[in-house]
Chains A and B, each alone.
Chain A
Amino acid sequence: MSSKEEDSSMEIGSISFPVTEAFRYCVESIRKRFTRALITAISILLGIAFYVTIRSMNTILPNVGQQPPQAYQMLMAIIALLVCGVGIVNSMLMSVTERYKEIGTIKCLGATDTSVLEIFLIEALLLGLLGGVIGAFAGWIAAVGIFSFQFGIGGVFPAGKTAIVMLQYLRYIAEAVGISVFLSVVAAAYPAFYASRHPAEALRYEI
Chain B
Amino acid sequence: MEKSVPAVKVVDVHKIYQLRGEEVHALRGINLEIPHGEYLSVMGPSGSGKTTLFNMVGGIDRPTKGRVFIDGVDLSKIPSKSMAWLRCRKIGYIFQTFNLIPVLTAQENVALPMIFLGVPKPEREKKAAELLRSVGLGDRLDHRPTELSGGQQQRVAIARALANDPAIILADEPTGNLDLNTGFAIVQLLYRLKAERGTTVICATHDLKMIDISDRVVFLRDGMIENIERRRALTLTAEEFESD
Contacts and interface: CB of A to CB of B under 8 A. Distances in A.
Given A105-B95, A106-B112, A108-B93, 18 more contacts: A1-B67, A7-B72, A8-B69, A8-B71, A12-B82, A12-B85, A14-B81, A14-B82, A16-B117, A17-B115, A17-B116, A104-B99, A105-B93, A108-B87, A110-B88, A112-B84, A199-B60, A199-B61
B236 interface: no
A112 B80 contact: yes
Interface stretch (A26-34, A67-75, A147-155): A26-34
Contacts of B101: 102, 105-106
A10 B61 contact: no
Interface size class for chain A?
35 or more
Interface of B: 1-2, 5, 9, 11, 55, 58, 60-61, 67, 69, 71-74, 78, 80-82, 84-91, 93, 95, 97, 99, 101-104, 108, 112-113, 115-118, 160, 164
B113 A110 contact: yes
Prevailing SS type, chain A contact patch: helix
Contacts of B89: 13, 110
11 contacts: A1-B11, A1-B67, A8-B69, A8-B72, A10-B72, A12-B86, A28-B108, A33-B103, A104-B99, A110-B116, A112-B80
A5 B69 contact: yes
Contacts, number: 108
5 residue pairs, one from A and one from B, having the closest CB atoms: A110-B88, A8-B72, A110-B116, A32-B103, A16-B118
Interface of A: 1, 4-10, 12-17, 21, 28-29, 32-33, 101-102, 104-113, 115, 199-200, 203
